[in-house]
Each structure stands twice: as C-alpha cells, then as structure tokens.
Structure 1
Amino acid sequence: MVIEDVKIESSISEGVGCFHSLRSIYLFDCNQLRDASWIIFAPHLERLFIRDCQGLEEIISEEKLSEVAELKGNSNLFSKLEFLHLNNLPKMKTIYRHALLFPQLKRITILNCPMLKKFPLNSNSAKGRRLVIEGDEGWWKDVEWEEESTQIAFFPSFKHR
C-alpha cells in the first residue's frame, strides 16, 4: 500500500489530541507522502524520526494547519518534542514555516536533507537551552536564518557529522 496523504476527519479533530498517548513516531520509506501535518494531533510527541521519505517536502503544512482553525497559530506545536531526526529527505524544504519554542527539545539531527534551508527557530527558541544540532557541515553553512541573532545563538549547538 502506498500512503500519499493522511486525513483527519473534522469530527475527530474537534477533540484535538486524537493521538493523545502517542509519544514516538518513526516514519520510514513513505515515498509518496508530501507532508506529515497529522502529527499536530499528537500533543505529547517526544520523538520524531523521519527517514527515506523521498517525496516529503514539509513536516507541517501551513495550508493543512489552517484547515484546523483551533490549531492555527498554536504555540504548543512540538511543545513536548525532545528529539527530531531527519535523514535522507531530498525534497524536504521546511519543518514548519514559523518559529516555534520547542521548550523540551534536546537534539536535532539533520542528515542528507539538501533542500532544508530554514528552521522553525528564532532567538527565543534558544533561551536557556542546551540544544544539540547535528548535521552535515555543508548543510549547516547553507542554512538561511531569519535573524543573525538566531544564527549566533545556535552556532555553539552545532556538531557536524
């Protein structure tokens, strides 16, 4: 079976948190999937591992998020996330288009994601944090930061592989 999209019915999304108990997601080899916006319904997500999804362009689609009005602009997105691992995603362009706080995030690993140039981080995301960002050295040099202060804040966090 080939998965191209995951749709959550509005009756389910009204009780936001239909994946309330979900703590870890391992998404591998879903080559037709363009985004994984359905993970917004996992409010307690701690670990997100995505690998070898050749068609994945973004994790959370702004367009799909706006379809769920009560979640639009939600600052609680990824509020429990501790580990984010992205590997071999050749079309990945964004995780999410706006900065998020990621209050629990400990480690981000980005490997073989050449199109991923923007992060949903800003200088507020770094406050009081000991975050480790691991990735390809060439990729790190090409990251486009919204503000220079964000780049400065996260520079000590980066470890090349």
Structure 2
Amino acid sequence: METHCFAKLRSIHLYSCPRLAFVLPLLWANQRSYLPNLESLHIVNCGDLKTVFPVHPVLKENVLEFPRLKHIHLYELYELQHICEVKMHAPKLEMVWLRGCWGLRRLPAVGGDSRRPVVDCEQDWWENLEWDGLEAGHDPCLFERRHPSHYKELLPRVSVLG
C-alpha cells in the first residue's frame, strides 16, 4: 500500500458500526503526518471501537501530526481507549464534542496560539484526562471547556426527616 493513498481524505463519518474495532491503521514508519487533509472525525454508536487509528509498533514513541484536523465528534463509544495509539498534535483543532467515551484519556495536543479549541464533554470525563503539560502544548488551560446543559452538580445526600 502506498503512503499517500489517504492523502486527500478530508472527513471520516461512521455511524452505527457495532463490531468495528478500529478505523484506519497507520503503518508507515517514515511519516509524521498520515492524513494531512483530514478536517473532521465524526464517529457515533460504534460499540466495539477501541482505537480509531492504531499504529505500527515502530511509531509508538512518535507524535503524529494531524495538521488540518478541526472537528472531533465522538458519541457512545463505550470501549474507546485512544483516538490514536500515540500522541497526536492537531494545531487547527476548533471543536471537540464527546459523550459516552469514558475510557478515552487523551485529547490531541494543540500548541500555544491564542485560539483555544472548545471541548464539550461530561465534567467527570474531563477530570480524568491525562496531560503532558503546557510546554508540550497539552494542558487543560489551552482548551475552553463546556459541559452539557443537562449536567448538574451532585447534591449531598441528607435526610429531610431530620
């Protein structure tokens, strides 16, 4: 397979693929950017999906570039652990919308420009994310968080009977 076969791919939209385990393996060891034109990743209700982009073992220590990725929309992916098995850098990221992806622990690094991507997610999920730090462009202060309007703080359990 040639290394440029998905170079023109601009969006990935998958809906209700219950047995899908991964989307697109990234296998070539001589590249930093595999999907240079990918702008949108939209995956809904793929219950067995564990990793969107599995990578070749040679790439495990790399940071992969997604130079045009702007939108990530992931919904009801209960088994999802990784968008990409290695660290990602998406400098043009604008919006991340996540629901029901409780196993996912990382967002792509975004860099340090003044534009902060909006992350619309459950607060409990946000609090469990792993970060590499500001110097790596991967820190919570580089994102603007929004929690769903239906999200409510847990009320203390007390008895009204006294």
TM range (shorter): 0.7 to 0.9
Corresponding position of 1:27: 14
Indicate the percent of aligned positions where both proteins have the same amino acid.
Answer: 25
Query: Which is worse superposed, 139-148 or 49-58?
Result: 139-148
Is 1:73 matched up with 2:62?
yes
CA distance in 2, matches of 1:152, 1:46: 22
CA distance in 2, matches of 1:89, 1:131: 21
Is 1:140 matched up with 2:126?
yes
Shift of 1:79: 1.4
Shift of 1:143: 1.6
Q: Judge conservation of contact 2:90–2:108 (CA < 8 Å) in 1.
A: no
Shift of 1:136: 1.1
Corresponding position of 2:112: 127
Higher Cα Rg, which structure: 2
Corresponding position of 2:93: 105
Instruction: Give structure 2 stretches of 5+ with no counterpart.
Output: 27-32, 149-162
CA distance in 1, matches of 2:106, 2:88: 12
Shift of 1:152: 4.1
CA distance in 2, matches of 1:49, 1:59: 11
Corresponding position of 2:106: 118
**Secondary structure at the residue paired with 1:95?**
strand
Instruction: Give the letter aligned to residue 34 of structure 1.
Output: A
Corresponding position of 1:53: 46
CA distance in 1, matches of 2:101, 2:7: 29
Q: Judge conservation of contact 1:107–1:131 (CA < 8 Å) in 2.
A: yes
Alignment TM-score, normalising by the size of structure 1: 0.72
CA distance in 1, matches of 2:43, 2:67: 18
Alignment TM-score, normalising by the size of structure 2: 0.72
More helix by proportion, 1 or 2? 1
**Secondary structure at the residue paired with 1:139?**
helix
Instruction: Give structure 1 stretches of 5+ with no counterpart.
Output: 1-11
CA distance in 2, matches of 1:117, 1:20: 27
Shift of 1:118: 2.4
Q: Judge conservation of contact 2:116–2:144 (CA < 8 Å) in 1.
A: yes
CA RMSD of aligned residues (A): 2.7
Instruction: Give the letter aligned to residue 132 of structure 1.
Output: V
Q: Deviations over 1:122-150 (max 9, x none)?
A: xxx23103211111122112222234774
